[in-house]
Amino acid sequence: MRSTVIHDILSKGRFSWIYLIIFIIKLTFYSSAYAQPQGKQMPDRDTRAWKPFLVDLKINQQDSGSAFVWQHENGKDWLLPVDLLQRSRVRIPLTVPLVIRESINYVSTASLGKVGTNFSEENQILRIDLASNAFEASSIKVPIHSLAGTPSMAAGTVINYDLSFTSGVGRSTEFFSTEFSTGIGTGVFVASQAYRHDEQNDRFIRLDTNYTLDQPDKLATFRLGDAISRPATTLGRAVRFAGIQYGSNFRVQPGLITAPLASLSGQAAVPSMVDLYINNVLQSSQAVPPGPFSITTPPMIAGDGEIVMKIRDISGREELISGRFYSTPYLLSPGLSEFSFEVGTLRKNYGLPEDIYSSVFSSASYRRGITEKFTAEIGAQGTTDGTKNILLSGIRTVPSIGLFNLAVGVSNSDSGPGSQFAAGFERRSGPMSVSFRTEHANDKFQQTGVVTNLVMRRLDNAFWNYRFDGLGNLGLSYTQYQRATTPATQVFGFSFSTLRSWWGSVVISAYQTEGPEKNYSIGLFWIIPTNRDISASLLHSAAQGSAPATVLQAQKSPPYGEGIGWRLQAAINAAQQASVSWLHFQIIE
């Protein structure tokens, strides 16, 4: 067989001896690179129907390198090496029969579907044109922040302190608080406390004492001592406790994107450039090979948006592909989970002299991204001598519409089994944002760690905001809430804020409360654009049973780091005040 091939090559006359040596090297390479595959041996009677060529192969205008191929006598069908096709990402169906020639696996171009061929015998170049779906799919990700490694640890101690003095007619107060932090091993020990003295009190208050160990490689944090629980769903309520807490902490890796990424798919018949736009803003330009491809990018906005791909091939032809997405930090990427486990004793009256630790408390929560548009949550908490809760919720986004969430909870306490449910909707699209939420609980529902009188029986909330180009933001809100032992209270809100300009920015707000007590307030805040960060505000308020009060205030916040700030207040039916604040820090080595 090989002698026949060599004879055919030499008989053409145009091949030099150097070309023959190259041919022998190529033939040796292909013979050694392939194991004996399972394939269909071409019958001997077909041998003379094929002619061998060593060519430069181009597949969909991509250089695929030199290849040893066979041309059928009809001039239309070709045998191409399987290994080279796979390196060029050509998808070979499992049903396609393999043809073995010279111990090398080949497939016929006729078995690859619609194929265009062009052979330049003078230049020994074979051009193959396949359909775009004949290639393996490729995936492109717009560059995002990568995860940081485990930071190096260095021993050190930090002391934060806050000292304030207040003096008025017939009353003076001194307040002092400190926070002591020091590294122990790979964790940090923190102790905070405060001291307050006035005409009626003279007491020392211990705030928090704990040891915290961050684990960036595991995206988790371990805490021993005073902590705040992390309920799984929006129905849960965080409580203070002392004990052990271990759970996910994505903040130890600031570059991690936990929300689902925006993605879009397309096809390219030839090498092309893809420009990616999110809400008409160019995010990236990427080169893609022939075949199907998908491109993903972190959304640059929260809410409803549009992602557009502009595909431009080497001939200048363009194609647009678009899709919609809804981005929200409440969702987790598919397969990403978040958890927290806590056990200890409940802490009551935090920051007061009556601060005590009471019953044994335990809690567990778990969230997981099921799909790009759905995240599920589950949690349970309880005490040994009180209420037990189980909470479930789901969050679902619908592009072009918004975000929906539904939650249910059950409790078991001395008053019997109780239930609670909540439903909400949110939509952010362009200049407008709107949200609705309602929570309802029956009379027997109790929450772990929450005093019975403060359990929320009903909570309804609605919010609408619109951004006027070149002018500012207008917001309207409505809230109705009712606790276990109090009548319902309604709060109506209005706010308008202007854009920052040479004369500053203004915020106008008004609130009215209807319920057991009626009151209203109207506020005007003017932020003056100076290098000293000075702001001024005018607030007028009135409450049932008291005289209206008007307060004019000007202040300068201390600069970041070290410096002095001040505040002046002049008022009608309210206190006249003046204060100075000084921030100072010192490194302890």
Residue 461 pLDDT: 95
pLDDT tens per residue, range 471-481? 899 999 999 99
Alpha carbon distance 35, 569 (integer Å): 88
Q: Which two tokens stand for residue 415?
A: 């008053």
Side-chain half-sphere CA neighbours of 118 within 13 A? 8
Would you say 50 and 12 are in contact if contact means Cβ atoms under 8 Å apart?
A: no
Spatial CB neighbours of 150, under 8 Å, sequence gap ≥ 6: 216, 217
pLDDT tens per residue, range 116-132? 888 887 788 888 888 87
Neighbours of 560 (CB within 10 A): 7
Classify domain 260-327 at the CATH class level.
mainly beta
Residue 455: band (very low, low, confident or very high) from pLDDT cuts 50, 70, 90: confident
Cα dihedral sign, 246-250-251-254: positive
Residue 449: band (very low, low, confident or very high) from pLDDT cuts 50, 70, 90: confident
Would you say 242 and 227 are in contact if contact means Cβ atoms under 8 Å apart?
A: yes
The conformation of residue 29, written as its DSSP 8-state character, comes to H
Would you say 444 and 231 are in contact if contact means Cβ atoms under 8 Å apart?
A: no
Spatial CB neighbours of 527, under 8 Å, sequence gap ≥ 6: 500, 504, 505, 506, 507, 535, 536
3-state percent helix, strand, coil for the chain, nearest multiple of 5: 10, 60, 30
Mean pLDDT for the chain overall:
80
Residue range 2-136, CATH number: 3.10.20.410
Residue 41: band (very low, low, confident or very high) from pLDDT cuts 50, 70, 90: very low
Q: Which residue has the higher pLDDT, 407 or 70?
A: 407
Residue 74 pLDDT: 78
Residue 342: band (very low, low, confident or very high) from pLDDT cuts 50, 70, 90: very high
User: Is 3's pLDDT higher than 60?
Assistant: no
Residue 369: band (very low, low, confident or very high) from pLDDT cuts 50, 70, 90: very high
Average pLDDT over residues 336-355: 89
Alpha carbon distance 223, 245 (integer Å): 5
Alpha carbon distance 165, 161 (integer Å): 14
Residue 143 pLDDT: 57
Residue 144 pLDDT: 54
Q: Which range is most confident: 68-72, 173-177, 315-319, 392-396? A: 392-396
Rounded to two decimals, the pTM is 0.70
Q: Which two tokens stand for residue 476?
A: 């309207």
Please work out, in degrees rounded to the nearest 5, the angle formed at the alpha carbon of residue 86 by the alpha carbons of 80 and 87: 105
Backbone angles phi, psi at 346, to 5 degrees: -65, 145
3-state secondary structure 172-206: EEEEEEEEEEEEECCEEEEEEEEEEECCCCEEEEE
Average pLDDT over residues 374-397: 90
Average pLDDT over residues 15-21: 47
Q: Which of 527, 522, 496 is nearest to 511 (CA)?
A: 522
pLDDT tens per residue, range 489-536? 999 999 999 887 877 788 888 889 998 888 888 888 887 766 667 888
CATH 2.60.40.3110-classified regions of the chain = 260-327
Tell me how far apart the 2 most distant CA atoms of the chain are, in Å. Answer: 118
CATH 3.10.20.410-classified regions of the chain = 2-136
Count of residues making up the chain = 589
Average pLDDT over residues 18-46: 44
